[in-house]
């Protein structure tokens, strides 16, 4: 069973490096002006005082140990608004800020999170600069109460089955089998994998602590085969260049393409496999506190959402229509 799920040869993995590099080069070379660094650099060059403000923001976020993704999101949105008005966001009037935020809504921003991160970035900046009055004037953000999408067990198996390459099978296996975030699976280092104990040390990218998660026999075997076939020496997964990290776009592309091959119609992303991991553990009888630790959640309330999804309780939920027609 182990060999079947994570079957792959050295030849297979050489092929995948060539094929995936060609596909991913197409995706990753499509850079736009909305990429983080070009925007920040442009704002530093064109908006007076932006560079000094950005350095203060960056230093504070470092000392508060904010994640790289949060730092990049805030920087991008602050650079956008600074370039829009050609001045620092801190000297804008309340009406100008209101007009800008309304413009995002009217023209339809790329996603709902775009608007939210603009507000969050401004709020963080105003707090940093001691502009509490401006911070209070910003609109409040209603937190999404949507339940996460979860895959069925057969759907997870279908994704692994439709992966043509060992690298992709292992990627899905780790996202689902260990409940990893996208940033965590991309940055797994060989020194953090304990094959003899079947444990993975997950380095913090969110929150304040590292955590250990069990790998299980299938993943241990898959990792051994992957290391042998690729000759990995530092990171488990690499990107276009042998010494570079696997890109976020690369991981997302793999998950999206496998869902299409498997005929899964749900809106699936890399985080869906993490939600599925937690839900299936809960359904299999693991207690909520243990799941919290495995996921690396800071607060139990975050983990409690899976109680609304998992089929657990005194009696598993059922459809009364089946009972009506005695369908078992």
* Catalytic status, residue 280: no
Q: Looking at 74, 176, 246, 306, which residue is catalytic?
A: 306
* Catalytic status, residue 168: no
Q: Looking at 71, 84, 157, 297, which residue is catalytic?
A: 297
Rounded CA gap, 95 and 66, in Å? 30
Sorted by sequence, the CB contacts under 8 Å of residue 202 that are 6+ apart come out as 178, 180, 184, 192, 210, 211, 212, 213, 296
* Catalytic status, residue 297: yes
Q: Looking at 274, 275, 280, 292, which residue is catalytic?
A: 274
Q: Looking at 60, 66, 84, 206, which residue is catalytic?
A: 206
Sorted by sequence, the CB contacts under 8 Å of residue 97 that are 6+ apart come out as 81, 89, 122, 134, 137, 138
Tokens of 25: 């080069």
Q: Which residues pair with 211 in a beta bridge?
A: 202
Tokens of 45: 């060059």
Q: Looking at 76, 167, 181, 280, which residue is catalytic?
A: 181
CA atoms within 13 A on the CB side of 19: 11
Q: What angle do CA 245, 249, 255 make, to 5 degrees?
A: 105
Sorted by sequence, the CB contacts under 8 Å of residue 306 that are 6+ apart come out as 275, 278, 279, 282, 288, 291
In degrees and rounded to multiples of 5, residue 201 shows phi and psi of: -90, 115
* Catalytic status, residue 206: yes
Helices (H), the chain: 2-5, 10-28, 36-46, 50-63, 68-85, 94-107, 112-128, 132-137, 153-162, 166-177, 182-186, 216-230, 248-262, 270-283, 288-295, 300-303, 320-324
CB atoms within 10 A of CB 287: 9
Q: Which residues form the catalytic set?
A: 181, 206, 271, 274, 297, 306
């Amino acid at each position: 069973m182990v060999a079947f799920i994570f079957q792959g040869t050295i030849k297979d993995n050489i092929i995948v490096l060539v094929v995936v590099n060609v596909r991913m080069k197409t995706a990753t070379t499509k850079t736009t002006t909305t990429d983080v660094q070009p925007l920040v650099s442009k704002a530093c060059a064109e908006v007076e005082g932006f560079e000094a403000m950005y350095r203060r923001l960056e230093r504070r976020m470092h000392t508060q140990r904010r994640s790289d993704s949060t730092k990049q999101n805030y920087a991008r949105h602050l650079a956008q608004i600074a370039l829009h008005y050609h001045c620092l966001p801190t000297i804008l009037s309340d009406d100008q800020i209101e007009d800008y935020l309304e413009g995002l809504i009217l023209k339809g921003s790329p996603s709902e999170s775009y608007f939210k991160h603009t507000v969050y970035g401004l709020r963080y900046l105003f707090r940093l600069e001691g502009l509490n009055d401006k911070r209070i004037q910003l609109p409040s953000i209603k937190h999404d109460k949507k339940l996460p999408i979860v895959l069925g067990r057969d759907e997870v198996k279908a994704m692994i089955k439709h992966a043509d390459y060992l690298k992709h099978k292992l990627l899905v296996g780790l996202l689902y089998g260990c409940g990893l975030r996208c940033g965590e699976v991309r940055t797994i280092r060989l020194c953090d994998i304990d094959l003899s104990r079947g444990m993975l040390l997950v380095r913090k990218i969110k929150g304040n602590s590292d955590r250990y998660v069990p790998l299980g026999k299938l993943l241990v075997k898959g990792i051994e085969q992957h290391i042998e076939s690729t000759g990995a020496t530092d990171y488990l997964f690499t990107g276009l260049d042998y010494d570079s990290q696997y890109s976020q776009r690369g991981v997302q592309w793999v998950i999206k393409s496998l869902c299409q091959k498997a005929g899964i119609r749900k809106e699936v992303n890399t985080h869906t496999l993490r939600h599925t991991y937690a839900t299936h553990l809960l359904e299999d009888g693991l207690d909520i506190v243990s799941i919290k630790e495995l996921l690396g959640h800071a607060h139990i309330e975050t983990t409690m959402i899976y109680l609304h999804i998992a089929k657990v309780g005194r009696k598993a939920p059922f459809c009364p229509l089946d009972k009506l027609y005695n369908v078992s």
